Amino acid sequence: MQFETPLFERKPRGMVLTPAGEKLADYTRRALLDAEDVAIEIKGEAEQPRGTIRLAISEGLANSFMSEMIFLYRQKYPEIRFDVHVVTPPNIAVMVREGEVDIGIAFAIGAVTPVHAVRRVRVATVALMHPSHPLTAYDRLAMRDLAPYPVALSAPDTTLRKVVDLRCAAEGVSLRVAMVSSHSAGLMHFARLGGGIAFASPISARTWISDGLLVARPFKEDNAFDRSLEIQTMAARRLPPLVNDFSHFLAEQIGERTKI
């Protein structure tokens, strides 16, 4: 097949795809995945569903949420294997688009990504603290309520940190930062020890909260600074039944677990 438009462009660091080349690459990836999916479906028609579901998720969801989802789903389909990649949110969409994974789950702040969002759920941000912390006496918080106390923040390039920074700017508040880390479990453990207040979504901190190790308090007028949690798949890809079923299972579970 010949094309009347360039598919590659020469750059100082090598050859890169042109927009037309990107379209052809996306089509090729979808075609290869569709062929694999059909073969798996045919093989599985006469036996219990089996195969591998490949996932890309952020570190906050890897701490406990995804392990629980896989455990619950394998109660229904014990022959299903999961391949879980824990990466930064921008890389999740890249892996989905390039066909490296079947499903991506990522936090986003109004960003448009080159993938299909099967489900987008609004996610609040909560303040997490030791059960003995004075602010547990409040039902809802303003960021200025946190100003006298040390806090633990996620890295500046995370969607969670951006939400916290936006709220601080809106209220004109400077926080007493005791710790900054890209490791969400470390931040929550720091809060559990009483070292400071951490921030997270209810879904990321669910185990810590349900076990009574941390107390979560939502913020006033929370929806003005919300993130969304997206279940992402490759745009225009015909999802195999198993992947489609698991994506809808995730959507239902996420909807329940994002409630405060």
Over range 234-251, report the average pLDDT: 88
- pLDDT above 70 covers what percent of the chain? 77
Res 9: pLDDT: 63
Largest CA distance in the chain: 70
pLDDT of residue 225: 76
Complete domains list, the chain, with CATH: 8-122+227-257 (3.40.190.10), 125-225 (3.40.190.10)
pLDDT in tens, 139-180: 999 999 999 999 999 999 899 999 999 999 999 999 999 999
- How far is the first Cα of the chain from the last one, in angstroms, to the nearest whole number? 55
Distance separating alpha carbons of residues 29 and 237, to the nearest angstrom: 9
Q: What pLDDT does 260 receive?
A: 57
Higher pLDDT, 32 or 125: 125
Q: Which position has the higher pLDDT, 29 or 232?
A: 232
Min mean pLDDT across 19-23, 88-92, 119-123 is at: 19-23
For residue 51, pLDDT beyond 90: no
Kindly report which listed range (42-56, 183-197, 204-218) carries the lowest average pLDDT score: 42-56
Residue recorded with tokens 């927009």: 19
Buried b (16+ CB within 10 A) or exposed e, 131-149: eebebeeeeebebebbeeb
CA separation, residue 114 to residues 22, 125, 204 (Å): 11, 26, 25
pTM: 0.76
Helix axes 65-76, 241-257, angle to 10 degrees: 130
**Res. 4 pLDDT band, cuts 50 70 90:** low
pLDDT band at 100 (very low <50, low <70, confident <90, very high): very high
Question: Which residues are within 8 A (CB) of 179 and not within 5 positions of it... i.e. 6 or more apart?
Answer: 152, 153, 187, 190, 195, 196
- Greater confidence (225 vs 260) lies with 225
State the helix-helix crossing angle for 19-44 and 241-257, rounded to 10 degrees. Answer: 100
pLDDT tens digits for range 69-89:
999 999 999 999 999 999 988
Q: Is the pLDDT of residue 1 over 90?
A: no
Hey, is 186 helix, strand or coil?
helix
**Per-residue pLDDT band at 255 (split at 50, 70, 90):** confident
Q: What is the pLDDT of residue 46?
A: 47
| Of residues 240 and 225, more confidently modeled | 240
Q: How far is CA 61 from CA 64, 68, 176, 178, in A?
A: 7, 10, 27, 24
